[in-house]
Structure 1
């Protein structure tokens, strides 16, 4: 799956592709191309997944991610069906910015917040998100 996903990403013009779901040939995966805008931290949701790895790549703009601390963060409710949200302490959260020269991979143990407002003037972004099936061995 990973090889097929990276091959598709390398040969696809991600800026010209229309927003929406796009099948990745040779797999059951779909790439979700999203045009959106970063928002205030207080309005962004926390998440993690247990059945999928989130591959996230900012094609245009800059997106800030929050990485939650496992010691002070707590689940708000049970998984529904593959997403869980958390209560967390902002001062224990690590923030990192993503730009088109890097991508992020969030495994089930990577509790995170996406699409947080950055220090840039323009908050509009284009992101490609692929859910890669995860099997814990």
Structure 2
């Protein structure tokens, strides 16, 4: 997992692959507040962005999840959000397995060693297949957020 902000990306990006740089550069060079909701292709099926306007919820109502085929770059354009984060563990209990159809597995709420990442506008987290993440958790009261989730195919790294 990588946690950063667009303001510091220029100093950090040399440490990451060209593919990850391309994904984050899309966020830097795009006015995400003006994008329509939905899918935006960056590099075919290797890199694309999903733009969404959502309302955060209490953490207990959000399911922890992971992906195998795609890495998530979870970027917060507006609002505030908490994303729960933990490394994968044998103690996790699968609640819903849609890896084959939708590249997502959801777990029950019990996640060992989960920490809360507090995101403000400009912040992003990059979650790899071994990273459990619980997005769209309320930072205080539930609130409206604009998110962009850039998906990077694992085999594109």
TM over 0.5: yes
Structure 2 partner of 1:9: 27
CA positional deviation for 1:90: 5.9
1:48 equivalent in alignment to 2:66: yes
Change (3 A) 1:38 1:99: same
Count of aligned positions: 134
Look up the SS of the partner of 2:68 in the other structure. coil
Matches within 5 A, 1:42-121: 42-68=60-86, 70=89, 72-76=91-95, 78-81=97-100, 82-89=103-110, 92-119=113-140, 121=141
Q: Residue 77 of structure 1: CA displacement? A: 5.2
- The structure whose residues are more often helix, as a share, is 2
SS of the aligned residue for 1:111 comes to: strand
* 2:6 paired residue number: none
> Does the 8 Å contact 1:61/1:122 carry over to 2?
no
Contact 1:56–1:103 (8 Å) recurs in 2:
yes
CA separation of 1:5 and 1:68: change in aligned 2, threshold 3 A = closer
Distance in 2 (CA, whole Å) between partners of 1:8 and 1:131 is 12
What's the TM-score once normalised by structure 1's chain length?
0.83
TM-score (norm 2): 0.74
Single out whichever of 91-100 and 38-47 deviates more from structure 2.
91-100
User: Aligned partners of 1:3, 1:78: CA distance in 2, in Å?
Assistant: 30
C-alpha RMSD of matched pairs (Å): 2.4
The equivalent position to 1:23 in structure 2, one of 36, 41, 55, is 41
Structure 1 moving runs of 4+ over 4 Å:
none
Residue 155 of structure 2 aligns to a residue in which SS? coil
Q: Flag the 1:30–1:91 CA change in 2: closer, same or farther, 3 A.
A: closer
Shift of 1:71: 5.4
- Is the CA contact 1:67–1:95 (under 8 Å) kept in the aligned structure 2? yes
